[in-house]
Amino acid sequence: MPMCDAYIPEGALSASAERQLLARVTDLLLEHEGVRPTNERARAWAWVFVHRHEMYVGGVPVQAPHYRFVCNVPEGQYDDERRAAVTAAMTQAVAEAEAGSYPDPESRVWVFTHEVKDGSWGARGRVVRLPDVYEEVIGNKGRDLAEQVLAARRQQEAETVLNAPGYD
């Protein structure tokens, strides 16, 4: 259930390049959540909101377009490896969409990956938890799998606290 706010300057890309980029962003978000991008039930939960912006660096308008992607996924979906992979892949997708039109795309793309605490998603007029999403996307086995994902995350968090310096 990824949600992404994509900040893309007006006219930075051709209309077809932007559509292809946004489709690729959707695929990447699903892939890095561990879902096949061809899963139509999962795609229905993957939304990208496009924002147009002006960009200034040091108080001066920029010469080349800058992009920002703020990605939100349910708790338990990302670890450091997945965050790094989605950031690298999205940066590469922008570079490919620009097709060499501007220099140094790696310095102009920022990706923020956030997990939303279970119980904090709201959709369809109610709170939607990870087990609800998994069940919708992969069927009956999804609820149990999501409970396992959340239990593993809680265990990881507890170990982090217990292993913190000064915690006795």
Q: Which residues contact 74 (CB under 8 A, 6 or more apart)?
A: 1, 115, 116, 118, 121, 130, 133
Stated as kind and residue range, the H or E segment containing 51 is: strand 47-51
- pTM, rounded to two decimals: 0.87
For residue 70, count CB atoms less than 10 angstroms from its CB and return exposed for 0-12, middle for 13-18, buried for 19 or more. Answer: middle
Residue 136: which pLDDT band, with cuts at 50, 70 and 90?
A: confident
Across the chain, mean pLDDT equals 92
pLDDT, tens only, 25-82:
999 999 998 889 999 999 998 999 999 999 999 999 999 999 999 999 999 889 899 9
> pLDDT exceeding 90 applies to what percent of the chain?
71
Q: Which of 157, 32, 31 is nearest to 82 (CA)?
A: 32
Is the model's pLDDT at 167 over the cut of 70? no
Residue 24: predicted pLDDT: 97
Angle between helix 141-162 and helix 130-138 axes, rounded to 10 deg: 140
Residue 168: predicted pLDDT: 63
Measured distance CA(159)–CA(125) in Å, rounded: 35
Break the chain into its structural domains and give their ranges.
3-122
For the chain, the residue count is 168
Q: Name the superfamily (CATH) of residues 3-122.
A: Macrophage Migration Inhibitory Factor (3.30.429.10)
**Higher-confidence position of 162 and 129:** 129
Report, as an integer, the average pLDDT of 118-139: 90
